[in-house]
Structure 1
Amino acid sequence: MDGEIIREEVVEEIREANKGGGGEDEKIKNGRVGSRNFSLKKLLRFNSFDVEAGIVERLQSHNNSPVDWLSLLKLAFQSIGVVYGDLGTSPLYTLPGIFQSGIKHRDDLLGAYSLIFYALTLITLIKYAFIVLSANDNGEGGTFALYSLICRHAKVSLIPTQQVEDNELSNYRLEAPNRRLSRASKVKSMIEKSHFAKMCLLLMTMLGTSMIIGDGILTPCISVLSSVQGIRVVKSSLTDTTVMWISAAILFVLFQFQRFGTQKVGYSFAPILTTWFMFIAGIGVYNFFKYDPSIIKAINPMYIVYYFKRSKKEAWLSLGGVILCLTGSEALFADLGHFSVHSIQISTCLVVYPSVLLAYTGQVSYLREHMNDVSEAFYKSVPVLASIIASQALISASYSIVQQSLALGCFPRVKVMHTSTKYKGQVYIPDINYLLMIACIGVTLGFKDTTKIGNAYGLAVVFVMTLTSALLVLLMVMIWKTHILFIIIYVATIYLFELLILSAVLFKFVDGGYLPLAFSGILMGVMYTWNYVYRKKYFYELENKVTVEKLEQIASDPSIKRIPGVGVFYSTLVHGISPIFTHYVENVPALHTVLVFTSIKSVPISEIPIEERFLFRRISRNDLCIFQCVVRYGYKDARRGWDSFGEMLVERLKQFVREEEKEKEMKEKELQVIEDEFKNDGVTCLIGESEAVPLKGSSLAKTWIINYFYHFLRKVTRRQEEMDGIPYKRLLKVGMTYEL
């Protein structure tokens, strides 16, 4: 029976089982649906790489292991040194940012304190520590994690990524929207049918990613400059030029330290930041009781209303300073892959949130008695080292999100180094590290002080927050199927508050606010150009793919020699065989004895177990030994060296042959051929490398993007063989020009 018919029957029976209610989960677990036994392994024997979507759901997950509390507490401690430096040192510049023109009325401090209290509580604590962290993708956070979750539950990716077989992955857990919730189904259907909506989702994700990287540039600048400028309180002879060069030197050293990895950086910085949090909390309590304990009444949100009535436009503009108390909140989510949900929640709730809130409480109490000290109130007792370490949060986050966007075809090829054998999400990217360092030092030397950088920083922070909220609302509607009342409450409180802050920050566009938009524009240009050509090349190959009949005709041609060894023909095409293959045969009339057409596929989940990574099918007669293989990687998975990859591929190929339904003698013979060819001649990699040129008559914009921008990016980024560690003695490159 045809494999497609079998799959349709199984899918229909799953639907019927789901209608019955009660016990259907057990039926699926035991391999029984309805009245019929079936094996998911058997189903996979009929796999088709051209079939998309599907409803088979794996009910088990690798993430259900018992909690190791000792490891969790270690991670929580380590996260303090990486994630919270920026959030913890925001008291250095928040109140000066709110009252840039000085404090006009003593009660304005109560309004500002009330704004800070609700900003930290609603956004840092409730939104990020609890709601957004729940939207992680198998332990991975960031803008692309949200996007990958949406792609997994709806066909919104601009490149087809969903296959029936992918739903069998332990971590995939695909679940179609419940039919009873028409709202989720309608939203899903609307997005799937609209190319414009799909493009908007991708661009929003790219913008959010670009803004976080922009934060990674601005955070070190404002943190280091703030701390060095604070030295002037005790050493007033320091000039602006001296402060600037000291800051640049500190930034250089800080970025050199990144190569040691998140674990070592975390354990090195964590004691310093922990001491810092205890210090600011203690000082806050002392100042609160010494100066003005009555400020506790500002927890009443009416003081915000009084503040706006009294100060009007100035109160609205001061929201641009309020956002500074939230700097680093996005790092709780973006840095999640380096740690875990519970470790971030523990350190946030027990250490960071109460310490920072107490620090602001003490500052406001002090300023109620010393209104003229608003620009220096904190510097008189600030340890410089903690402020310098504040840069770490967004630097680490930049590595994580670049790795994610790279895996999803939205970033040029860069080398990703995994710095921990225990925690796969802890990564270091040398190319990004040096680019961030150059940009940070450039901004520091160019701006020289924190006022304009603060304006720029605020815009970057709030832009990322609003984009995260927009994707989160879509997630609530389409995937979580949250009750409409809770969605309205979220939008009317947290999201509306963020939009109000964004309106105030945009007012300072010309005073430095343009900087993150300029950074984001450049980064989005890079990401969109790479993804645009990536998609065009993919669909060109899809439209011109080699048919199975043509492949068998080529392989059976007596003029085509079969040479010893296992040949792995690399291609980006998942749904078929690349047209580069026919171009190769025309110029080199020889094929390896065992030929495996291999495509590397990025599945929009964070991690795929090794035993589920290789997906094979036979694409010719048994005697030709020609197979197709999709090697599936999550965006958090590390690429192994070529030798181990080749050995693993051959082992999985033999396992696939053993499970095929055919005569034992033929099976043993083919297994022996594969084993002998691998042992005697090893695995040779043939890479189909395509050059892209615009089709004649293309628009000027398309011509410029492909001929200049994309070709420039290709020249300055790493090659495929470098990314996969393929030795040159095992490499044969086959080039072809695509007219896109």
Structure 2
Amino acid sequence: MSTEGDCANMEEVEIKKWKETMNKKSLKERTTSMANSLTIKAGIVSNITNHSSKLGWMATLALAFQSLGVVYGDIGTSPLYVLASTFPKGIDHTDDILGVLSVIYYTILALPLLKYVFIVLKANDNGNGGAFALYSLLCRHANVSLIPNQQPEDMELSNYKLETPSSNQQLKKKLENSHFARVLLLFMTILGTTMVIGDGVFTPPMSVISAVNGISSKLGQDYVVSITIAILVILFCAQRFGTSKVGFSFAPILTIWFILIGATGIYNVFKYDVRVLLAINPKYIVDYFQRNGKNAWMSLGGVFLCISGCEAMFADLGHFNVRAIQMSFSFITLPAILAAYSGQAAYLRKFPHTVSNIFYECIPGPLYWPTFVVAVVASIIASQAIVSAAFSIISQALSMGCFPRVKVVHTSTKHQGQVYIPEINYMLMVACIVVTALFRSSEKLSNAYGVAIVCDMVITTFLVSVVMLIVWKKSIWKVSLFCIPFGCIELVYLSAQMVKFKEGGFLPLVSAVIFTVVMAIWFYAQKERYMFELKNKVSSEYLLKLVNDLNTNRMPGIGVLYCELVQGIPPIFLHFIANIPTIHSVVVFVSIKAIPITSVALEEKFLFQHVEPREWKIFRCIVRHGYNDVIGDSMEFESQLVQHLKEFITQESKYMFDLEKTTKCEEDGDDEEKSISLSCASLNSIQSLDMVEGIENEIKVIDKALEKGVVYMLGETEVVADPKSSFLNKIVVSAYNFLGRNFQQRDELMAIPRKKLIKVGMTYEI
């Protein structure tokens, strides 16, 4: 075993020195270095163009239309309950209506429009949004990853886009050198993710029950609860059809919804009180707080619900694109909801006693039932927004090693970010049914609704501020213009939401904490497993002794051994040899490595390296994938692995040929020009034939081994706590083992046929 410190992680300074050294080396030195490095493959594919192309206007308009049915259901249906939640005890002064409407105006303009549409959406990772997309950006531009598997070859990826050093080098170095800061950054990312999931438990019941309340006076609350649960079951069962189909199905209905509430709002404004438009004057906000004091501050908990769901614009970005989201919100969603709130306020100015059911009270008689039907369907769509967001961010967390293994189904061949996760889908469905049965009304649900949303907004503000400093290279004062105003607004709303903590506000936080603990435990144990393998990897000398041992037999076929390490031979290999003293004629150590980018081109996925001695046909392979990539089934994987292995053998032979040719010509450098040319030409002719013959022979070996079949070897590792470790560590390890047993196994995730699978047990002590 070897504990030498040739770890896979390289600090940014080391990576920079590596690139500078490679540029300064002669052809001979470069070729020698590359012949013994993974950079052979990286160098070949690093010049390919970015495979993500910009969409045309027609495709963008189609996505903008789809986004209406996926992204804006929550914020679009907020007029169902906002004013009722803001005035739970009735309206004491009619001017309070103008004050609240003014707060609603500026809240919508400041947070969804200014913050998200014009700023946060631009902080995307190749078109993907959410907390983990921001974290992946930071991992690429600063060495903040806690798992030491970074390699200089990763910087050559076409989607990596690592730019020149920023002007904030001092801040960047502090972030990289502080273990606490790196842990805090990951913790905030996980917490932001779990807040969206927690919100996903409350958004569907709140939206649906608010819409169904339109018949509560006729059928009673028990029927309302039963109908709500039935609608939720249908909604979650429809998720398997994918975001694209669901979006196109829901988009026309949401379009009708926005037309209805917008037109009704304009009608009410001009019929009852056009002076409500004066609420654009912020003076009414000042008057409202002066008149009501603490009660005005407490009412912000209800006002905040007018922007519930705006986080979905960023979290659901991977399903669409920035331009589509900007267009659909600015030209359809924003005007419609502002008109709806204005119309409700105008109606309340004349009939303030109707505030408890204001949405349906202000609907003109002939439009009541059509609006009710559309409202129910729109509330279903509101739930779709947060469910789609939960799928997206969990998929990102999974690929980054921060979530237990679950099945991710990619539902669209055109848009990689559109995913469906069955386990999470049904988990959310059960949670939503339980919440609906417990709270039973929108008034009680409003106490629990919104806490997770505002917490997630605060975390997004923090992460985007760090991205501005590290990635966008903005100065501190420019970043302050973003984080201080928006942060203060969100903290004020958070303080108002906390008033409802005992009345149910704690539930979404409890849900978020549970998911945070699960994700933190999984990440910690995965990291410690990697460190165990790194410390106990097999040395090159020991491997040489092992393969030369006469007791080690070779059998025909290709053996694929999965491991976590990106460099070195994993300790599990010794256990295979100890239990089965036979190895295949071709052995490939495969490490499936998550890269903090959206997608890796197929030409760039596979990196190979020979493991000495070369004649033993043992290779190391790193399979790189982004968080939107699909890991194919075993048959597809076999085909791609063998194809790229043959390409590697061909390219490596060419490099070795260039090395020998360059060496010979440099040694003859003092001879006459003619003799040099003859010597090099003669050498080229002989070596070309040898090279072609050598390539053909090696490929024949691979083909012959492939004919005998591919066998997958997995380590059935048991993770145990170090006896000397703390009691907390032992609890964490036990929890990790429980999660590992009850979620998908690696062989199930990759659909490896059991007939081709060999498992050998080993104990990892962490």
The structure-2 alpha-carbon separation of the partners of 1:33 and 1:165, relative to structure 1 and needing over 3 Å to count, comes to closer
1:713 to 2:739 alignment: yes
Decide whether the 8 Å contact of 1:78 with 1:267 is kept in 2: yes
Question: Shift in Å at residue 589 of structure 1?
Answer: 0.3
- Partners of 2:475 and 2:101 lie apart in 1 by 33
- Name stretches of at least 5 consecutive residues in structure 2 with no aligned partner: 1-7, 364-370, 657-689
Q: Which moved more, 1:104-113 or 1:401-410?
A: 104-113
Higher RCO (C-alpha under 8 Å, 6+ residues apart): 2
- Partners of 1:555 and 1:321 lie apart in 2 by 70
- Partners of 1:503 and 1:10 lie apart in 2 by 45
Matched to 1:506, the amino acid is M
Q: Deviations over 1:245-271 (max 9, x none)?
A: 111111111111111111110111111
The structure-2 alpha-carbon separation of the partners of 1:94 and 1:9, relative to structure 1 and needing over 3 Å to count, comes to closer
1:475 to 2:467 alignment: yes
Q: Tell me the equivalent position of 1:686.
A: 713
Q: Tell me the equivalent position of 1:157.
A: 145
Question: Shift in Å at residue 61 of structure 1?
Answer: 2.8
Decide whether the 8 Å contact of 1:546 with 1:576 is kept in 2: yes
Q: Tell me the equivalent position of 2:386.
A: 394
Q: Tell me the equivalent position of 2:184.
A: 200
1:270 to 2:254 alignment: no
- Partners of 2:699 and 2:13 lie apart in 1 by 32
- Partners of 2:29 and 2:630 lie apart in 1 by 31
Decide whether the 8 Å contact of 1:13 with 1:34 is kept in 2: no
- Partners of 2:468 and 2:506 lie apart in 1 by 32
**Which of 724, 731, 734 lines up with 1:697 in the alignment?**
724
**Which of 647, 655, 659 lines up with 2:639 in the alignment?**
647
Question: Shift in Å at residue 689 of structure 1?
Answer: 2.4
- Partners of 1:84 and 1:38 lie apart in 2 by 59
Q: Tell me the equivalent position of 1:280.
A: 261
Matched to 1:330, the amino acid is E
The structure-2 alpha-carbon separation of the partners of 1:93 and 1:306, relative to structure 1 and needing over 3 Å to count, comes to same
Q: TM-score, normalised by structure 1?
A: 0.92
1:214 to 2:204 alignment: no
Matched to 1:126, the amino acid is L
Q: Tell me the equivalent position of 1:434.
A: 426
Identity of aligned residues (%): 48
Q: TM-score, normalised by structure 2?
A: 0.89
- Partners of 2:438 and 2:31 lie apart in 1 by 61
Decide whether the 8 Å contact of 1:161 with 1:603 is kept in 2: no
Matched to 1:101, the amino acid is K
Question: Shift in Å at residue 451 of structure 1?
Answer: 2.2
Question: Shift in Å at residue 483 of structure 1?
Answer: 3.7
- Partners of 2:483 and 2:147 lie apart in 1 by 31
Q: Which moved more, 1:279-288 or 1:656-665?
A: 656-665
1:326 to 2:307 alignment: yes
Q: Tell me the equivalent position of 2:161.
A: 173
Q: Deviations over 1:416-438 (max 9, x none)?
A: 11111111111111111110000
Decide whether the 8 Å contact of 1:416 with 1:429 is kept in 2: yes
Question: Shift in Å at residue 583 of structure 1?
Answer: 1.2
Question: Shift in Å at residue 59 of structure 1?
Answer: 9.8
Q: Deviations over 1:545-597 (max 9, x none)?
A: 11122222212212101111111100112232211111111111000101000
Q: Tell me the equivalent position of 1:62.
A: 51
- Partners of 2:32 and 2:430 lie apart in 1 by 55
Q: Tell me the equivalent position of 1:523.
A: 515
1:425 to 2:451 alignment: no
Matched to 2:710, the amino acid is V
- Partners of 2:719 and 2:649 lie apart in 1 by 37
Matched to 1:723, the amino acid is L
Matched to 1:125, the amino acid is L
1:547-558 map, 5 Å: 547-558=539-550
| Rg comparison, structure with higher value | 2
Secondary structure at the aligned position of 2:358 is classed as coil
Question: Shift in Å at residue 302 of structure 1?
Answer: 2.4
The structure-2 alpha-carbon separation of the partners of 1:422 and 1:454, relative to structure 1 and needing over 3 Å to count, comes to same
Question: Shift in Å at residue 101 of structure 1?
Answer: 1.7
**Which of 124, 129, 150 lines up with 1:141 in the alignment?**
129
Q: Deviations over 1:69-90 (max 9, x none)?
A: 1111111111111111111000
1:614-653 map, 5 Å: 614-653=606-645
1:234-273 map, 5 Å: 236-273=217-254
Question: Shift in Å at residue 675 of structure 1?
Answer: 1.6
The structure-2 alpha-carbon separation of the partners of 1:220 and 1:39, relative to structure 1 and needing over 3 Å to count, comes to farther
Secondary structure at the aligned position of 2:414 is classed as coil
Decide whether the 8 Å contact of 2:67 with 2:325 is kept in 1: yes
The structure-2 alpha-carbon separation of the partners of 1:560 and 1:67, relative to structure 1 and needing over 3 Å to count, comes to same
Matched to 1:194, the amino acid is S
- Name stretches of at least 5 consecutive residues in structure 1 with no aligned partner: 17-31
Matched to 1:47, the amino acid is S
1:302-341 map, 5 Å: 302-341=283-322
- Partners of 1:374 and 1:59 lie apart in 2 by 61
Matched to 2:328, the amino acid is S
1:380-529 map, 5 Å: 380=361, 381=363, 382-383=371-372, 384-529=376-521
Question: Shift in Å at residue 723 of structure 1?
Answer: 0.5
Question: Shift in Å at residue 386 of structure 1?
Answer: 1.4
Matched to 1:682, the amino acid is G
- Partners of 2:179 and 2:15 lie apart in 1 by 31
**Which of 127, 144, 158 lines up with 2:115 in the alignment?**
127
**Which of 290, 293, 298 lines up with 2:279 in the alignment?**
298
The structure-2 alpha-carbon separation of the partners of 1:530 and 1:555, relative to structure 1 and needing over 3 Å to count, comes to same
Decide whether the 8 Å contact of 1:191 with 1:198 is kept in 2: yes
Decide whether the 8 Å contact of 1:563 with 1:590 is kept in 2: yes
The structure-2 alpha-carbon separation of the partners of 1:242 and 1:89, relative to structure 1 and needing over 3 Å to count, comes to same
Q: Deviations over 1:119-150 (max 9, x none)?
A: 11111011111211111111111111111111
Matched to 1:688, the amino acid is G
Decide whether the 8 Å contact of 1:124 with 1:326 is kept in 2: yes
Q: Deviations over 1:188-222 (max 9, x none)?
A: 11111111111111111111111101111111110
Q: Tell me the equivalent position of 1:671.
A: 699
Q: Deviations over 1:683-732 (max 9, x none)?
A: 2110122110111122111112212x222212210110110111111111
**Which of 97, 106, 109 lines up with 2:97 in the alignment?**
109
Secondary structure at the aligned position of 1:639 is classed as coil
The structure-2 alpha-carbon separation of the partners of 1:336 and 1:348, relative to structure 1 and needing over 3 Å to count, comes to same
1:186 to 2:170 alignment: yes
Matched to 1:733, the amino acid is K
Decide whether the 8 Å contact of 1:152 with 1:604 is kept in 2: yes
- Partners of 2:23 and 2:339 lie apart in 1 by 58
1:227 to 2:208 alignment: no
Q: Which moved more, 1:445-454 or 1:497-506?
A: 445-454
Decide whether the 8 Å contact of 1:255 with 1:437 is kept in 2: yes
The structure-2 alpha-carbon separation of the partners of 1:462 and 1:13, relative to structure 1 and needing over 3 Å to count, comes to closer
Question: Shift in Å at residue 491 of structure 1?
Answer: 2.5
- Partners of 2:504 and 2:551 lie apart in 1 by 68
Question: Shift in Å at residue 230 of structure 1?
Answer: 1.9
| Aligned length in residues | 706
Q: Deviations over 1:384-423 (max 9, x none)?
A: 2212221100001111111111111111111111111111
Decide whether the 8 Å contact of 1:99 with 1:374 is kept in 2: yes
- Partners of 2:102 and 2:406 lie apart in 1 by 45
- Partners of 2:436 and 2:729 lie apart in 1 by 36
